[in-house]
Chains A and B, each alone.
Chain A
Amino acid sequence: MNGFFDIPSDLQHSYGGLIAIHLQEALVPVLVGLLLALPIGLLCVHYDWIYGPVLWTSTVLYAIPSIAFFVVLIDYTGLSQLTVMIPLCLYSLVVLVPAVVDGIRSVPEETNAAASAMGIGLARRYLQVQLPIAVPAIMAGLRVAVASSISLVSVGALIGNQGGLGNLLTTAQLYGRPRLAVTSVVTTAALAIVIDALLVLLRRVLTPWEPPSGGAAGRSGAATTAEDAATRTPEGAS
């Protein structure tokens, strides 16, 4: 492990510093992407006809290489982290918008009917009923978006050392120190795994209402009749 944490001084960051920058550049765009995807997804569910065009647009954006984005953005945002984060944010939408849409659509019809029959308005219904029930689908999308964002950040090394751990790759080439490349790749992978584990944990915390092991227990009528009989009051038991 000798030299694993030994980072050349011209990167202007320690090993820990590079990790911090990498995480920031990877996670902030996904977070912003999520904030965009929530209203966009809702609109797509509400107005079915815009979902197609929205999906198409996000797929096209996803197909544009980040280098192309950099070339355009450098004129406006310079050699900054922002130039790296804007394309990452747009990329995340290709996963997050469908995740939000699927999540909202996973709300059972009778749940929506019950909500509206109880006089729960549209905004309240979205925030208090549909979004919480959409959490599993959204978290699944978030895991994919975060993992891909963590790996994509490294490309930022191409525009003046804005690639977090990716900068180690260019440095490795420059100084002929392949071990730096190993450090970069191993650390990025470790980051992705740790963050993913945290997301899984977060999802557990947010969804105590989910049947264990992904719904095998089912919602309706799975439990026994005997259990039912047990809860019936004496009057009901004749």
Chain B
Amino acid sequence: MIAIEDVSKRYADGTVAVDRLSLQIPNHSITVLVGPSGCGKTTTLRMINRMVEPSGGTIRVDGEDIRSRPVNALRRSMGYVIQNAGLFQHRTILDNIATVPRLLGWSKQRARERAAELMERVGLDPAMARRYPYQLSGGQQQRVGVARALAADPPILLMDEPFSAVDPVVRRGLQEELLRIQGELGKAIVFVTHDMDEAITIGDRIAVLRTGGKLAQFATPDEILSSPADPFVEQFLGADRGIRGLSFLSTRDLELDRSRVFPVGSDWREIAGRDPEGTPVLVTDADGKPLGWADPGAWDGDLADLEPYGPSFEVGRDSLRVALDRAVLSPTGLAVAVDASGQVLGVAGQETVAAAIRVARQRRAADTPQETASASAKAGR
């Protein structure tokens, strides 16, 4: 637990970067500091490892004032990851990762074994061990940065816009990787970003800071999206916070329509007769996997004539946001729901999703405090 208690920072030139900030950062979770550029995120993060000394207030780690420890020992107990990784360009990947263990007096052999282990953990090819940073892409360098920060197994990880400089596809991969690693290691992570989407994707809790270093709101992503504390937070969330909030509602209880799903080889005349309006049906293969949409009145049974069914969603794993998205994208207006093995469970139209949203909202209103948003909802976006 990191306790930031009434901390301020005024720089020598008079700039007030952080103003009487108080935050409780729990263990085993990711706390995101988010806010516009210049709002004091980096300053706050650097006060935790004493790269910046507060002008007022106290920071405690597990109850102990951070000033009571020698500064270098304190820093070695906190991993630090920054934008562009800040790798040591003159050292191999393996030696970069082994830096802190070596500083802590581990033997070269043991530090390198540990480094190799971490390369695997962050998804780096072992063949890269002997390479130098210039031989890696930006995303790979960032993985090395994460591995280096984790090398001595510090209980705390400080990350300052670590993924801001890589392209969106790579960033997405890095975010998923971080969530996976956090699932395994359960560190106290403080993650700084100016990107609200990133904050919502990876944060268990989000602290929104406003310019001048004041805390605007500190809550779960779900709470922030559904009830922003003030117009500043609302504006920072952007125009589609309602849609994004659906990320935290599960598809588990969605009412799926199974009457429109037929395995290939069914009697088409009978189906057509049953529904003279020719409402489309979803044709599946013998295993129940989707093949495509058919108009039962016109279809002659040729699989090549089926209309592609587009992306599907997985019930339970994906959120209502994904389900709604699939319905909007579908040529028939119906989203295809599958289980983990890819078998069709049914289809759902936009109205069905809307009904599910209303139910979820009502249920949420009934059982405040809102602890609905947890790691399980997060995995499904």
Contacts and interface: CB of A to CB of B under 8 A. Distances in A.
Interface residue tally on B, bucketed by range: 35 or more
A225 B84 contact: no
Contacts of B145: 114
Interface in B275-307: none
B72 A235 contact: no
Nearest to A218: B134
Interface stretch (B169-177, B212-220, B227-235, B252-260): B169-177
Interface in B61-97: 71-76, 78, 80, 82-92
A232 B75 contact: no
B137 A232 contact: no
A226 to B, nearest CB: 9
B100 A114 contact: no
A113 B51 contact: yes
A153 interface: no
Contact of A224 (B124, B137, B166): B137
Nearest to B124: A231
A154 B87 CA distance: 46
Contacts of A209: 89-92, 132-134
Contacts of A235: 176-177, 180
Contact of B173 (A129, A215, A220, A228): A228
Interface stretch (A31-39, A117-125, A141-149, A162-170): A117-125
Q: For chain A, which range describes its interface: under 10, 10 to 19, 20 to 34, or 35 or more residues?
A: 35 or more
A223 B141 CA distance: 11
B37 to A, nearest CB: 17
A52 interface: no
Contact of B76 (A119, A133, A238): A119
A115 B103 CA distance: 11
B72 A237 contact: no
A12 interface: no
B139 interface: yes
Nearest to B89: A209
Interface in B93-148: 99-100, 103, 123-125, 128, 132-134, 136-141, 143, 145, 148
A110 B85 contact: yes
A158 to B, nearest CB: 44
A172 to B, nearest CB: 48
B137 A113 contact: no
B76 A220 contact: no
Contact of B134 (A132, A219, A228): A219
Given A110-B84, A113-B82, A117-B80, A227 B177 contact: no
Contacts of A119: 71-76, 100, 103
Contacts of B176: 235-236, 238
B354 interface: no
A133 B123 contact: no
B140 A114 contact: no
A235 B148 CA distance: 21
Contacts of A6: none
B165 interface: yes
Nearest to B168: A225
Given A111-B89, A129-B88, A220-B138, 7 more contacts: A113-B82, A135-B90, A215-B134, A221-B138, A233-B123, A235-B177, A235-B180
Which 4 pairs across A and B sit closest by C-beta, in order of nearness? A221-B138, A223-B137, A110-B86, A114-B86
